[in-house]
Chain A
Amino acid sequence: MRCDAMRALLDEHVDGTLEPPASVEVESHLASCPGCRAGERAIRSLKESAAALPEATDPRRDLWEGIATRLGGRKSFLRPALIAASMAAVLAGAGYMALIAPRNLSAPPAAVAVPATAAVPSPSSIPALNGADLAFLEARQELRTALYERKKTFSPETLRQVDQNLRIIENAIEEIRTAVARDPGNRKLQKMLISTRQREVALLRHVTQTADLQSR
């Protein structure tokens, strides 16, 4: 089965609605194609994010409660602020920016350990990352790595354009996230955030699969 045929089937495969023998063919293709495997994981992450949509309201609260529990301390008004300040100082240097910042495809994606739980605070006015954000970032990192590995398929000019377009989407995502943080109950904004993330994943999948097709 070819990668472009997979595109039409991956959603159904993730939903578990694909009948055999198509499901068997998809499994077999996934076993041998890292690009489509990354795409499948990205779809799973996004579906999980979408399913969690109504609960995605105040990521900061989850973070502070989680940290407070781990530290075994009492919650207070000052403690979260202090923790936030110290974590932001560390993450602002490398972690947070490495997680959210658009990266150039000409350089290998930074090996960022995406935290599996809770949220990650962010410097100053940028909203914190919640579980859905992290799932998306993990998927995005995998696809970026897959694309980086295939970058020789494309000309420097094409890579530059792909980079530029990824940056457009990533800036859009950050802008919407900031708007969601200001208006957390706004479902239209939340839907727009998921939809824009889906577009980035779709772009990464599209370019990665195009590279796979070209190299066969």
Chain B
Amino acid sequence: MKTKTLTRPLAALLTLAMGAGAAAAQVQIDKRRPASPAGQVRIDDSFGSIKVIGTDGKEVAVSGRLAAGAEGLEFDGDRQEISIDVRTPEAWSYGSEDDTDYRSDLEVRVPKGSSIEVRSLNASITITGVDGTVNAETVNGNISISGNPKSAQVNGVTGKIEISAASAEMQVENVSGPVILKGAARGAEVTTTSGSIDVAGRDLERVELKSTAGDIRFEGSFKGDGGVSIENFSGNVQLVVPAEAAARFKLSTFSGVIDSAMGLKPTRNARRSPYMELRFSTAETDFDVSVETYSGNISLRKMGEGKPGAAVAPAKKEGTE
């Protein structure tokens, strides 16, 4: 008992001393290089946070704090192609699951026309005001993109991905983290396994949303002769479209339920039971809206009806009333 009483404060002091040492070893960064208005900027930083801001300037500027455990910051390249790389020691392992000493916080200012590529493991990534293409990849960190990037390609595993941008093309792949796209403008392609998908946009020409167990919500208008294609296994799907939406709707589920506010009632296919289907056209059009699930429920709503922005409302299973 006595030993414990003595060792606890000692251990606390040691921890404090180590923490102070680490804090003392942190390095403030302030570096810059001239850059082309539409060049490429690559950022690699595994831990902490990365914030990229598009500006009217003609340089790439890196500021922030380099972690005590980082081996250094490489800031190289020419005006067309610049790379920023926070070096993590090779000996680092996930065994301890503690990345505290390796967390660097970077703020990177780039010409707004730049194309951005950001790669991380745990860091949260925020990108704002960039007009070029954006490519971001992280494992556990969250990713947030806003502004008007030409296109956005984002890959994650467990983190939340949120894009609030009028980007022409968005391509997102996540595993268990949720995906939220607001302002999708032309095409959007999202895949998850169990993460939920929430997509909202206007005048969309091509949308492809796929999940296995994550709920999917799509709210938007469309145009042209493309289509909206949604596939899910056990997750629910909610579709919210303008009352005057011109499309050919094809909704089908094997053991889920279809609940439609668009006038028609779904039918059960006796030959392939259990199999519920709803097909109808609202106009002479080549735009297809197709939803397929195995056991997930499908709900079709008109904009302005029901709770706006509500999460997927599961339709009632038959026989539950």
Contact = CB atoms under 8 A, between A and B. Distances in A.
Contacts of B46: 214
Contact of B94 (A154, A161, A176, A179): A154
Contacts of A183: 272
Interface in B141-161: 155, 157-158
Q: Is the interface of B mostly helix, strand, loop or mixed?
A: loop
B112 interface: no
A183 B176 CA distance: 31
A4 interface: yes
Contacts, number: 87
Nearest to B255: A179
The size bracket of the interface on A is 20 to 34
Given A158-B139, A210-B155, A199 B254 contact: no
A69 to B, nearest CB: 34
A203 B93 CA distance: 23
B119 A164 contact: no
A4 B155 contact: yes
Contacts of B272: 183, 186
B184 to A, nearest CB: 20
Nearest to B122: A155
Interface string A136-172: 0000000000000000111111100110110011001
A214 B121 contact: yes
Contact of B212 (A168, A186, A214): A168
Contacts of A161: 157-158, 175-176
Contacts of A153: 94, 121
Contacts of A87: none
Given A172-B234, A214-B121, A192 B294 contact: yes
A161 B254 CA distance: 28
A152 B93 contact: yes
A213 interface: yes
A58 interface: no
A203 B135 CA distance: 18
A183 B270 CA distance: 13
Query: Which of A153, A156, A188 has most chain B Cβ within 10 Å?
Result: A188
Interface in B263-290: 272, 275
Contacts of A199: 191, 193, 210, 212
Given A189-B254, A203-B175, A210-B155, A168 B213 contact: yes
B97 interface: yes
A65 interface: no
Interface in B230-250: 231, 233-234
A213 B137 contact: yes
A154 B140 CA distance: 9
Nearest to A5: B135
Give the interface size bracket for B toward A: 20 to 34
Contacts of A179: 254, 294
A189 B155 CA distance: 29
A158 B158 contact: yes
A202 interface: yes
A207 B231 contact: no
Contacts of B94: 152-156
A142 B131 CA distance: 40
Contacts of A155: 94, 97, 140
Nearest to A207: B157
Contact of A165 (B135, B139, B194, B234): B194
Nearest to B195: A165
A47 interface: no
B259 interface: no
A48 interface: no
A162 B193 CA distance: 10
Interface string B169-207: 000010110000000000000010110000000000000
B215 interface: no
A175 interface: yes
B252 interface: yes
A86 interface: no
A13 interface: no
Given A168-B193, A169-B193, A188-B292, A162 B157 contact: yes
Nearest to A199: B212
A214 B122 CA distance: 11
Contacts of A4: 135, 137, 155
Given A152-B94, A154-B94, A214-B139, A165 B175 contact: yes
B233 A203 contact: no
A183 B233 CA distance: 18
A23 interface: no
Given A158-B158, A165-B175, A176-B294, 4 more contacts: A154-B139, A158-B139, A203-B175, A203-B193
Interface of B: 46, 93-94, 97, 119, 121, 135, 137, 139-140, 155, 157-158, 173, 175-176, 191, 193-194, 210, 212-213, 231, 233-234, 252, 254, 272, 275, 292, 294
